[in-house]
Amino acid sequence: MGRRFDLIVFDWDGTLMDSTGAIVASIQAAATDLGIVPPSDERASHIIGLGLIDALRHALPDLPAERYQAVAERYRHHYLSRDQDLLLFKGAAELIAELTAAGYMLAVATGKTRKGLDRAFEVSGLGPCFHGSRCADECHSKPNPQMLEELMAEFGVGPDATLMIGDTTHDLLMARNAGVAALGVAYGAHPREILEAQAPLYCAGNVAELAGWLRKQS
């Protein structure tokens, strides 16, 4: 592999882990539990990648702010009941291992909480592969560039040598706001046409395509 980039930052849900369906179902179930009309699949999937409170604000725009916490608690209940069954996308573990062996610095920037990401690291076994991470309860929610800015500062890597990879426009806009190049993956939460409208360097249809691009271009 080449060395166009030194630091590669991955989103988690919908990029490395196949969790989009579980997140959508958990948001909808949480709303139903509390007698709230649940969001559509499209609306619920669009907010994936945001911090939970920001996500609820977008998914349930008519919900009074004082009810966010109750919905968030029910969401966590439903999601945690199934997250042990969530799997990495086919080829994701092998891709991370290959990038690690090639000497890249790897990081995660996610809408998960720190507790949620630590749990995902443990379940997937990928935790030791990542040199750093930032979560939504530690930084401003995407597309604010804080996560990427802090990771670049931590590793002393500039925007020109940093690459962001994610499945939502929130990821791509965060990269743009940080002055960082980005790749979209069209197998997660947001459809290809919405991702391509943000002009990423490339939009991969599966992990194999993503790996192929990284081997040739990164």
Active site residues: 11, 13
Q: How far is CA 30 from CA 43, 70, 111, 146, in A?
A: 15, 9, 18, 29
Q: How far is CA 42 from CA 17, 21, 25, 35, 168, in A?
A: 19, 11, 12, 20, 13
Cβ–Cβ < 8 Å for 14, 168: yes
